[in-house]
A = this chain, B = another copy of it.
Amino acid sequence: MDSRFSVDFVHRVVFTRGLFQPGNPTLVQTLRGGASGLAVFVDSGVAAAMPQLESQLNSMLSAAESAPELRAFLVVPGGEACKNDRTVVDQVLDVVNRHHLCRRSWVLAIGGGAVLDAVGYGAAVSHRGVRLIRAPSTVLAQDDAGLGVKNGINRYGKKNFEGTFAVPWAVLNDLDLLASLPDRFWCGGFSEAVKIALLRDRDFFAQIEHRADQIRKRDMSAAVPVIQRCAELHLAHIVGGGDPFESQEARPLDYGHWAAHKLEQLTEFQLSHGEAVAIGVALDTRYSAEIGWLTHGESDRVLSCLERLGLPVSHPALADTRLTEGLEEFREHLGGNLTVTLLRGIGSPSDANAMSTDAIRRSIDAIMSSSRMTTI
């Protein structure tokens, strides 16, 4: 008896400003139609920048008709460290139990990608899934990580080894949250925009190139359209790409990611995900040129764009001989045959089932000798 069935999902994404300011209806509207309990988990970075957040939330919810009640407000450490053990996941389970949150109750996670991942995993395994609202606080989380339909924590030193696929109830991107980001995390978010432009949209890459200096100066009029277009392309991939829960071998959006994940691990997460992706993209772009798929002119254009955005394209850890173990770990996490996306042109991706260790080495040498060696 083989039975086929399908399950319908809705992915809600909103861009707004002043999400927690009185008069902004987004959050209250999103919280309609569920149960009466809400628990909030806030990234320590956001909590430090917004000391009034808990009272703002309380005022907003008590002013609204039939809004849920704020039953718990917890600050959790931001950054990848919060994914290295079960602490945050267990905190979510404990709060759900202690405050009698049911499957239709709400967990609101406010923070960077790591906090969204750890809190999201806890929410996903409580009662087999409490409703999760994400309010991403970094460029990277707003234009990429926060839109994903996955969550998880690191284990055995392997990134996202433990986790689930789960569609969030909603993703509320408050552009004002980006104002308090340190420069490093501002810049870091644009590596995923470069990545998806390289894979999907040649014109979008040209737009990023054109605005790179303004973006680096944090000119919101230049940056916001890039953040929104990047989010739109990621969302389109999830809902229209035909494989949201990654059951196929190809990982078409993981350009540069085999090296990025390994670099994060080798540097003990001193490199942020956004920075590691920039280096991984630089490597796979130079590699694409090295094997003759891409012109060296196009490869240089990509590396130069990353650098103008304030992103690193090189790092001493590239010389670590363990780097290429990242290819096997990447394959193992996904399963099946190795499938790495490379470039035949800007906006023209193509899959490879193997990478040459020699060409990887030549690419690394070229990058390390020619790059400005941006200091992290």
Is A155 touching B9 in the complex (CB atoms < 8 A)? no
> Would you call A333 an interface residue if the criterion is a C-beta within 8 Å of the partner chain's C-beta atoms?
yes
Is A127 touching B333 in the complex (CB atoms < 8 A)? yes
> Would you call A357 an interface residue if the criterion is a C-beta within 8 Å of the partner chain's C-beta atoms?
no
Among the stretches A53-61, A96-104, A261-269, A313-321, the one at the interface with B is A96-104
Is B335 touching A105 in the complex (CB atoms < 8 A)? yes
> Would you call A332 an interface residue if the criterion is a C-beta within 8 Å of the partner chain's C-beta atoms?
yes
Q: Determine the residue in chain B with the shortest Cβ distance to A157.
A: B97
Contact with B along A226-257 (1 / 0, CB 8 A): 00000010010011100011100000000000
Give bound CA distance, A103 to B163, whole Å: 12
Is B333 touching A102 in the complex (CB atoms < 8 A)? yes
> Would you call A347 an interface residue if the criterion is a C-beta within 8 Å of the partner chain's C-beta atoms?
no
Minimum Cβ distance to chain B for residue A256 (Å): 20
Give bound CA distance, A163 to B129, whole Å: 8
Minimum Cβ distance to chain B for residue A122 (Å): 9
Is B335 touching A104 in the complex (CB atoms < 8 A)? yes
In the complex where A93-B155, A162-B126 touch, is A336 in contact with B102 (Cβ < 8 A)?
yes
Is A336 touching B2 in the complex (CB atoms < 8 A)? no
Instruction: Give the residues in chain B near A161, CB-CB below 8 Å.
Output: 93, 97, 126-127
Give bound CA distance, A235 to B124, whole Å: 24
Residues of A in contact, count (CB < 8 Å): 56
Partner of A6, one of B6, B97, B238: B6
Partner of A5, one of B35, B244, B335: B244
Partner of A2, one of B7, B11, B232, B245: B11
Give bound CA distance, A35 to B337, whole Å: 9
The oligomer's copy count stands at 2
Instruction: Give the residues in chain B near A103, CB-CB below 8 Å.
Output: 246, 333-336
Is B3 touching A104 in the complex (CB atoms < 8 A)? no
Is A335 touching B127 in the complex (CB atoms < 8 A)? yes
Minimum Cβ distance to chain B for residue A36 (Å): 10
Minimum Cβ distance to chain B for residue A263 (Å): 20
Instruction: Give the residues in chain B near A218, CB-CB below 8 Å.
Output: none
Contact with B along A92-124 (1 / 0, CB 8 A): 010001001111110000000000000000001
20 contacts between A and B (CB under 8 A): A1-B13, A1-B14, A2-B10, A3-B12, A3-B13, A4-B10, A5-B238, A6-B8, A7-B244, A7-B245, A102-B336, A103-B246, A103-B333, A104-B336, A105-B335, A125-B163, A127-B332, A127-B333, A128-B150, A128-B165
The 8 closest A-B pairs by CB, nearest first: A103-B335, A104-B335, A102-B335, A3-B239, A5-B239, A102-B332, A6-B6, A104-B336
Q: A3-B235, A4-B10, A128-B245 are in contact. List 16 more A-B contacts (CB 8 A).
A: A1-B12, A3-B238, A4-B8, A4-B11, A4-B239, A5-B9, A5-B244, A35-B336, A93-B155, A93-B161, A97-B156, A102-B331, A103-B336, A104-B335, A127-B334, A128-B163
Q: A residues touching B (Cβ–Cβ < 8 Å)? A: 1-14, 34-35, 93, 97, 100-105, 124-130, 150, 152, 155-156, 158, 160-165, 232, 235, 238-240, 244-246, 331-336
